[in-house]
Amino acid sequence: MLYPLKFEPLYKDYVWGGRNLSLLGKTLPDEGIVAESWEVSCHKNGSSIVANGEFQGIPLPDLIQRFGRKIIGDSLPQKDVEKFPLLVKLIDAQNNLSVQVHPDDAFANKNENGEYGKNEMWYIISAKQGARLVYDVVPGTTRETLAAAIAENRVEACLKTVDVFAGDVINIPAGLVHAIGRGIVLAEVQQNSDTTYRVYDYGRTGRALHIEKALNVIDFNSAGRPNKYTGLEIILGQNCSRRIVIANNYFCTEVYHISGKINENADGSKFYIYTFTAGSGSISWKDGKMDVSAGLSLLIPASMGEYSFSGDFTALKSYIPDLESDIIKPLLNAGKSLQEIKSEIGGLADALKL
């Protein structure tokens, strides 16, 4: 009964957005700014509505309430059935976002009415020449020196910036100061949370800053950490591969490069989300076939069974991993060393305390 689910995009018109998601294949409103498209969401600030098939028009939370683990999977904890664990977005930064930080689960649960914390990752879909983002504070920055810089309006002197290019993968753990710079379109995979503490907003007025909370959650001890991760590749077949790029206690994201056909399986253990960032193709399953192309996201229910992709495309595959069986063992079997696994996959070393 269950099939690949696509959704109506949920557009957000934040001040820094533009119209560039149309270049990714999104059909935008006739007028106005579109900063984000929430592609797969079960959050109180916006829930996805099914856009295809028998369940068209049904909100995703209602569908999960109806089918439970047939969508979520038997291997995931009950909390993931009660509250969907991921939120996937496409983001158009026509202008600089605010400099911000996200809390971890413990702080958010205590201070944000039981909200999740927010660990996330970015996949750069396109970047104009010279595009940069804020990643962390400069080494040596302390709570006291950053607080003084905020009070004296010289925050930018405390921020580390990084040049970015299409295809870059950025890991954003809770506690990391960050901001997307102008001229960047990216996909974001994150915990199901909408909690952001703004530190600095480039002189824009009308939006609140959250200085005290931000200072309480910033991790000042990890300045200088790696910002980009190349990941590790596993060959799926001729001209087809997957590259595991981010893996932590909250999600795993892989980059699929497909030029041909691959077979996949939703064996009942977990759901998968595919976000297509370039190219086109099709997905086939027992009861049907559907075209896929850049700008589309699909939720594969855990109990759907075997399916296959054909075409020439790039996509992100995101899911809740068992780090040992889903990440470590396949990479070791593919001939990767433990040192490569620790250094090339964002978030994994911290998650496993390697």
Residue 17 lies in a domain: yes
Distance, CA of 228 to CA of 232 (rounded, Å): 13
The domain boundary, picked from 217, 248, 277, lies at 217
Average pLDDT over residues 56-74: 98
Virtual CA dihedral for 252, 254, 260, 266, nearest 10 degrees?
0
pLDDT of residue 74: 98
Say yes or no to pLDDT of 66 above 80.
Answer: yes
Name 284's bridge partners: 289, 308
Which CATH number characterizes residue 279's domain? 2.60.120.10
pLDDT of residue 225: 85
313, 320, 312, 285: which is closest to 297 by C-alpha?
313
Residue 223 lies in a domain: no
Statement to judge: residues 91 and 192 lie in one domain? yes
Phi-psi region of 236 (alpha: psi -120 to 50; beta: other; left: phi over 0): alpha
Say yes or no to pLDDT of 354 above 80.
Answer: no
Statement to judge: residues 252 and 284 lie in one domain? yes
Distance, CA of 342 to CA of 354 (rounded, Å): 7
Q: Note down the domain range covering 65.
A: 7-217
Task: Dump pLDDT digits (tens) for 121-167.
Answer: 999 999 999 999 999 999 999 999 999 999 999 999 999 999 999 99
Statement to judge: residues 144 and 195 lie in one domain? yes
Q: What is the mean pLDDT of the chain?
A: 96
Residues whose CB falls within 8 Å of the CB of residue 329, separated by 6 or more in sequence, listed in order? none
- The model's confidence at residue 277, banded by pLDDT at 50, 70 and 90, is very high
String of DSSP letters for 158-177: GEEEEE--TT-EEEE-TT--
Greatest Cα pair distance in the chain = 62
Statement to judge: residues 78 and 33 lie in one domain? yes
Distance, CA of 149 to CA of 153 (rounded, Å): 6
Catalytic residues: 198
Statement to judge: residues 251 and 138 lie in one domain? no
Average pLDDT over residues 309-315: 98
pLDDT of residue 353: 83
Name 316's bridge partners: 255, 275
